[in-house]
Structures are given as C-alpha cells and as structure tokens.
Chains A and B, each alone.
Chain A
Amino acid sequence: MVHVSMAVNGRQAAAEVDPRTLLVQFLRDHLRLTGTHVGCDTSQCGACVVHVDGEAIKSCTALAVSCNGAQVTTIEGLAQSGKLHPMQQAFQDNHGLQCGFCTPGMIMAAVDLVNREGPNLDEAAIRHGLEGNICRCTGYHNIVKAVAQGAREMAAMPKAAE
C-alpha cells in the first residue's frame, strides 16, 4: 500500500491505496465521488474526464499516486456556491444530455476546451475538441450547441472561478 494525498474539489483527501489504484478508482471507490464515470477500459470514451492542476485528463489512465499533491476538480466540484457552472447550465438549456452517463466527462472536457482554445469556438472546433468523448444518446447535435453557449458564457465569467 502507498500513501496518496491530493486536494479534490478544494478539500484535502488522503488514503493508503494499492499502488495500482487508478485516479478514477480513488475518486469513486475511496472518496465516493461517483459523478466521474467509467465507460470503457481503453481511454477512448471520456466519461472519466476530470481536471488535474487545471487540465483535463482521463482519470482511468492516471494512477492515483501520480496525482499526489495535485489539485483535482471533478464534476461535483464544478458548481460554485450552489450556482451551476455556465457549461453545466448550457447542457441543461440545450438538452445536451439524455441518459447522463457521458455528461460529467463531456462537461469537464468542454470546460477544458474553452480554457485552452478560448470562447470563440465554431462548430468544427467544438466537434474536433470533443472527439475524445463518446455519447450514444444525443448524436452530439445539442452537445455542440451547449458547448457553444457555455463557451460564450464562460467568457463573461470572472476569471479563476474553477
């Protein structure tokens, strides 16, 4: 067993874990943060996307120990003081989700996309930016609309809200 410690959604979390524990297992099984999902075992589907030190990663592909000392944000930590993040709100406004399983990863990936590429994203840029996240329900049409709205509204957000 190894000691692992990180800040998750602004709270310090520590545990003794099997060294092979993946970040997603640490979040789901140890911290019971079950909003981060596992949809595949080959880092393809993106349901497990979280932010580590401000950047999106697939948490099924990182060992928990490799995130020792990191700042981790999961879907549960995106809303601030009871107010939805604009990207979360945009997904509801645009019917950008159906079964909800891919949604946490999709939202975390979308926030990261805007953080990286800025808020002025055309449809092609959004579609390209989301190709690491699979959704079977929506056909992506409304996800693309949601991300466009979320991007616009993130631009109007005070900086460093995440």
Chain B
Amino acid sequence: MSATGIGASVKRTEDIRFITGKGHYVDDINRPGQAYAYFLRSPHAHATIDKIDTAAALKAPGVVAIFTGDDIAADKVGGLICGWMIHSKDGSPMKAGAHPALAQGKVRYVGDHVAVVIADTYAQAREAAEKIDVAYGVLPAAVDTAHAAASGQPQIHDVAPNNTVFNWHVGDKATTDAAFASAKHVTKLDLVNNRTIPNAMEPRAAVGDYDSGTDTITLYTTSQNPHVARLVLSAFIGLAAENKLRVVAPDVGGGFGSKIFIYAEETVCAWAAKKIDRPVKWTAERTESFLSDAHGRDHVSHAELALDANGKITGLRVHTIANLGAYLSTFASSVPTYLYGILLSGQYDIPAIYCEVDAVYTNTAPVDAVRGAGRPEATFLVERIVELAARETGRDPADFRRQNFVKSFPHQTPVILAYDVGDYAKALDKALELADYKGIGARKAASAKNGKLRGIGISAYIEACGLAPSAAVGSLGAGVGLWESAEVRVNPVGTVEVLTGCHSHGQGHETTYAQLVSSRLGIPLENVSVVHGDTDKVQFGMGTYGSRSGAVGMSAIYKALDKIEAKAKKVAGHVLEASEGDIEFKDGKFTVKGTDKSIDFGSVALNAYTAHKFNGQELEPGLKETAFWDPTNFTFPAGVHICELEIDPQTGVTTVDRWTAVDDFGKLINPMIVEGQVHGGVAHGIGQALMEAAHYDGDGQLLTASYMDYCMPRADNLPSFKVETIETPCPSNPLGIKGCGEAGAIASPPAVINALTDALGHEDVTMPATAQVVWRAAQKAVTKRAAE
C-alpha cells in the first residue's frame, strides 16, 4: 500500500479551504442586484386561509414583490413530489395530498409557507411580512402519531381518509402466525422511536438567478443531490426545461438526509428570480430549519418475538405507525417501508417475519430520511426486543445473539433482502473483548460503591446500503434509478479531473476519490481533482445518501478507469510500436511485455491528444471516459456496538463512559475518514437516545424550535470512542466497499437504551432518556429493589 493509495489514512485535501475560512457555501454567494426572500409561515398547525391582504406590506420600504399560493397556481408551478410509490396491502396506491410550494387555501403545519416577501434587504422583507394580514380559519389539529388515524380526528388531506397514507406490509402473515402458535416463549415490547430534527450546522439556503439573455435559471442550493433537484424542478415542478436550468450545490455544511429533498424555499427562489428578473436569495434562520427541514423517525410500534425451547428465534411480528407529517416529502414513503420493514431480520436467522406499517399524516413538519433512515428504527426495534428476550429467558444477551446470528451466506431473509457476506460472530467477539465485557461485574460493583448504577448494552446492527440496484428499487416503487455516473478526464499533460454525481458535504470525496484514481493510474494525488455539485459540469448523477458514495460512486469511477486504461493501452501500443495486447500497465507505466520498452502515463496522455502516432480515424484522439455503475445488490454493512454507562440515581444524569464499535464496512479506502464517519454517527445516535426530541404540543406548536430547547449533543456530553473494524469484502462491487456513513447512527440508540435498562434493573425507559426520564426510572428501580 502506498502512502496515498487505497487503505491509507491520507489527510484530507479539502481541509485547507475549510480551516482557512475559504469554503464556499451557498450563503457566501452573492449575485449582483440580488433581492432577499423572507417566507411568511403559518403560526397555526391546521387552518383554512380565508384571505391574504398584502396591500400594506407591498407599500413597505424596499419591497419588490410578494407572492402567495395564488401566484404559484396562476403560473402553473407544479407541487412538490414524493418520488416513491407505495401500495397498500389491498393494492391501492398511497394517498398523496397536494403539496404546493406556497399554501393554497389551507395550511397544514406550523411553518407551512403562506407567502414570500422579496425586498432589497432581508430586514426589509422580514419587516414587510409583519404587515401581511392573513385571515385564518383555525381548525383542530391531528398531532399525535398513535392516534392520527383514529375516527374523529381532524382530516388533513381530502384524498386521505383517516389521515392514512398507506397500510403496507411485508413478509408472510400465515407462517409468522404459525411460528407464534408453536412458540415456547413470546417476548412483547411497545416502542416509540422518537422524532428528531436533523440539524446540519449549515442552515438550508438558496439563491435563484435568472439570465434573460439565455432564458436560463441557475439555482445555488444546499443540496446533497443537485441533479435530482434539477430533475424534479424541471420535469415535475416545471420551472424550466432541464437544459435551461442549472443547479449548483457548492460546499454544503452537512446534510444527514435533510438536504436530499426538494423543498418549497428553493423552488420559490428559482421561480421568483425569473418572475422579477432579479436574483433572489434566502437563507434559513435556525428556527426555520427546526420548523421546516424534514424531520426524522417518529414511529410507534408493537413487536413480538417468538422463541423455541432452545432459545432459537422462530418468528417476529411487528406493527408500526409511522408519522409522515403534513405532506409527503421527496422520499418519505420509502423510509418506513423499504428502508425499515425489510431490515427487520437484523443479523438473525429468523424463519418467519411479518410487518405491517400504517403511515399517517399529522399536522407536523414532513418526516423523511435522516441519517440511517428507517434502518435505525428497524435496528432499535430488533435490538431492544432481542435484548429483552434474552433477559426474560435468562440468557446472556451476547450468547443469545451469537446463537441466533445468520452464520452462512448468502442468506435469504423472509423480508426481501438477500445478505451477501458477513461474519457477525467475529465482530461480536472482538467487540466483547475490546469492551472488556467479562469485567463488567467488577465495574458495576465499583460504581455501586459510589452510589451509581452502571450498565452495559449491546447492539448488533445491519443496514442495507449502497443504494441501490435500479431494477430492484424500480420494482418496489422508486421513481428513479439509483446507479451512479463518473467521468474521468485526462488532460494532455496527464493530470486528471474526475466528475461524479455524488456530492460531498463532509464525507471527504475529494480525497478518497483521488486516492482511487491516483493509485490506479500511478500519478500523484495532487494531480487528481474531483468535481461535483454542478449540473453544468457533471452530466448526471443521483447524489449522496444511503452510504452510497463509496460503494456506488467509486464503482462508477472504477469502471471509467477500466475504460481509460483500455484506451491508453491502445495509444501506448501505437507509440511503442507494439500490439495493444502486449502492453502491460503498472505503477503508472505502460510496458511492452518482456521488454524494457515503456512509456509513462503522462506521455501516453500527451500522445492521445497530439494524435501523431496513430490514425485518428481508426482510434479517436483524446483520453476521456464515462461510466454508469448500476449495483447488482444492496451492500450490507454490519457490526456490533457496545455502550457502557453510569447513572447517578440521585439526579438521573447519565454518563456514557465507554463506547466500543466493531464494524464490517468491507474494504476501507481511507480508515481515518471511515472512523470519523462512525464517530459522527454514534454521536448522532447517542443524541437521539439521551437528548434529542422534537416536541409538538397538542395544538401542533413545535416547542423545540431553537438550540435552547432542542438538546444537541455537545463535546462534554460524549466520551471518546473506541472504533475498530473487521473486513469481509463486499462481493457485488469491484472495490469490495460496503459503506460507513450511517452505521453509527443506526447502531447506537439501542446500545444506549440496553445499557440504561441494564443499569436500571430492566426498568424500561423511553427515548430520549433525559435526566428526568432516567431519574424517574431509577427511583422505580430502587423502590422495586428494596421491595424484593
């Protein structure tokens, strides 16, 4: 392995601009003559809009224009879409209510977009918005996930009776019921997967810019997938033809899923820029991010696990209510279905699984993918009930997991997925050793001496990543293919530009992709530039989410490099006067087999462009290749995380003391970056488990709409993490990569709650297990212990 090749922890080349303040985020972009947009948002969770009077606001200083839903409708601007069709178990299509970029006749959540005020300055736009007089007819709101579909609840969309989007199911009900009928032991568990808010540190932003000379709209936006944004804004929302619409996502300050989606604000900025023939800029205030970024999770579930007399799991039965909020966001419907239900086998060999999911509308912000998306919810359910089953039957939780692991591959689960490869016991054993699982008794005793409660919790997770085989997801309802593209452009002097559809917003592609290209072509790392995030530069691509940019994005580059090598060999053959088949390529040199005749990569590139040594009609000049990679299977990262924590029963304060992670991500390109992804994911999951919750009150007011109310994990809430890997290379892509971006967030919440309930003598706690929640549980546990 070279110092910069595959497997080397190369320092990130993109860091220089970020540590010197030279990053280039959307809010750093200013266009000549730009105006500023402020969105007037609904203060009510559910109301009719009876009248909007903008007369006074239009006269306010600096105001350029005010638009409402009527203007959007008059211009035939299409509604925001949900790109994944789910069918209910009765075969009927999901009930998607209209989702206009500016509300038409009704608002459905606090933060819904009522009007946009555009003015010379942002302060003027904000002040003018206060002068808009909106007559609302306030309606009762349906807020609570568990009861949204009950009779008598306020109806949010006419097309969706009982606020029900779909009633979906997966697995075989009859065989699962039979497994339960013959079970020796059944473990039952009710769970709430708490609603969270993604909170990328960069708030969403957009600058719309219209060039009347070419009739072209350029939209600078905080997107994880600018090409998908262009496709939706063009083909569905109808702002402009694709060739007249450029979407640029420059440096983006974190996404975590929230910047996949095509939102109202960027739609309106792009549309309004043309309408007023002036650039329009909008940057979210943090409270707007809380109100209007798509939220995550929000499941209410009942689960049952069937065991035989030997402790073998024989069946799993799940019913989940998934809150999708007031409108269907871009990929909302896929999250509680094909990213959730089909993951419910976990790492276990479970012969029968049946899962029903009722997706409901509520008068809350739309809910869509957040880091892990569906897979954290599945893992939380599986790892909580497996832990509980072990405890109920008096088995060691580690041994119980090991007994039930899938042990031979490939493994077809009863819920669609076919796991390709893994070694679950190896990861478990390594994690137990690193965590000193055997020594927990002594550490618990030491804590007890200090009046503290110590607990340990395991989470053995699996995720389906590398999204995704296009034909497979198409058959499941996806509106797009999920391949990725790459273009490798070799310049005449042998430097290389790699163009990718995978946007980088923290993942370090500019380094890892360069590692792949430089090691393959035998050229220095600094001779490779990675280009992404601009639809005028990169032809097409599906973006970054679902831990796909390594497994899918780099496979596309790999395939393009195959073509580069093949073409370069032809050129080298002409230059070296040998047949193409006799040319070998190694360490950046083309050599005629069995001779010392050779030429370096840069010289071949130059010859490809001068085209002096070959007939340009028989061999095209130039050295540039494109590839599209469509995966043949999902990838299946898996691993074991172990949380050890200590509770102060007097205060309820929980201190996460040790964190051990052993992950199998297949081949690693840059271990330093991979570890960083795990750290961030684990922190996100600990946040969900202990601190973070989106709280709506009964009227649908978001009570946690600032950092004073929504508890983000901070440096002093977390420990350092012990992160190691094992490696079973993924067989379905050429580099053996599985993906690592979401694993930490998927694995960690059940590890925390299993550790908490271990410390609390099996007293159940809900997420987020704040000091108050833990204190109450600790008091119960102490009382119970005293009574025994």
Interfacial residues, chain A to chain B (CB-CB below 8 A): 18, 20, 28, 32-42, 44-45, 47, 74-76, 78-79, 84, 88-89, 91-93, 95, 97-104, 107, 123-124, 126-128, 130-131, 133-144
Partner pick for B680 among A35, A39, A100, A139, CB 8 A cutoff: A139
Partner pick for A140 among B22, B202, B683, CB 8 A cutoff: B683
> How far does the Cβ of B737 sit from chain A's closest Cβ, in whole Å?
19
Residue contact A40 to B286, C-beta cutoff 8 Å: yes
Counting chain A CB atoms within 10 Å of each CB, which of B17, B27, B202, B672 scores highest? Answer: B202
Residue contact B23 to A139, C-beta cutoff 8 Å: no
Residue contact B286 to A41, C-beta cutoff 8 Å: yes
A99 to B505, CA, bound (A): 5
> How far does the Cβ of B459 sit from chain A's closest Cβ, in whole Å?
16
Residue contact A37 to B25, C-beta cutoff 8 Å: yes
Q: Is B585's beta carbon under 8 Å from chain A?
A: no
Jot down 18 A-B pairs with beta carbons below 8 A, ordered by A: A37-B25, A37-B27, A37-B253, A41-B706, A42-B708, A92-B16, A99-B202, A100-B19, A101-B25, A102-B253, A133-B715, A136-B199, A136-B256, A136-B680, A139-B684, A139-B718, A140-B683, A142-B679
Q: Is B696's beta carbon under 8 Å from chain A?
A: no
Interface bits B198-232 vs A (CB < 8 Å: 1, else 0) = 01111100000000000000000000000000000
A5 to B424, CA, bound (A): 63
Partner pick for A44 among B21, B23, B256, B707, CB 8 A cutoff: B707
- Is chain A's interface secondary structure helix, strand, loop, or mixed overall? loop
Task: Tell me the total A-B contact number using a CB cutoff of 8 A.
Answer: 181
A58 to B200, CA, bound (A): 19
Residue contact A35 to B11, C-beta cutoff 8 Å: no
Q: Is B350's beta carbon under 8 Å from chain A?
A: no
Partner pick for A142 among B202, B256, B676, B684, CB 8 A cutoff: B676
A54 to B759, CA, bound (A): 46
Residue contact A92 to B19, C-beta cutoff 8 Å: yes
A103 to B28, CA, bound (A): 15
Residue contact B715 to A127, C-beta cutoff 8 Å: yes
Residue contact B707 to A143, C-beta cutoff 8 Å: no
A38 to B681, CA, bound (A): 23
Q: Is B507's beta carbon under 8 Å from chain A?
A: yes
A78 to B707, CA, bound (A): 28
Q: Is B779's beta carbon under 8 Å from chain A?
A: no
> How far does the Cβ of A83 sit from chain B's closest Cβ, in whole Å?
11
Counting chain A CB atoms within 10 Å of each CB, which of B203, B287, B682, B684 scores highest? Answer: B203
Given A44-B707, A101-B254, A131 and B715 contact (CB-CB distance below 8 Å)? yes
Q: Given A37-B253, A104-B19, A127-B715, 12 more contacts at CB 8 Å?
A: A37-B202, A38-B203, A42-B706, A45-B286, A97-B19, A99-B202, A136-B256, A136-B712, A139-B684, A141-B676, A141-B718, A141-B721
Q: Is B178's beta carbon under 8 Å from chain A?
A: no
Residue contact A35 to B286, C-beta cutoff 8 Å: no
Residue contact A139 to B683, C-beta cutoff 8 Å: yes
Partner pick for B253 among A35, A78, A101, CB 8 A cutoff: A101
Q: Is B353's beta carbon under 8 Å from chain A?
A: no
Residue contact A140 to B715, C-beta cutoff 8 Å: yes
Q: Is B444's beta carbon under 8 Å from chain A?
A: no
Residue contact B680 to A138, C-beta cutoff 8 Å: yes
Q: Is B508's beta carbon under 8 Å from chain A?
A: yes
Residue contact A126 to B715, C-beta cutoff 8 Å: yes
Q: Nearest 5 A-B pairs (CB), nearest first?
A: A35-B21, A101-B253, A100-B18, A139-B683, A99-B506
A136 to B257, CA, bound (A): 13
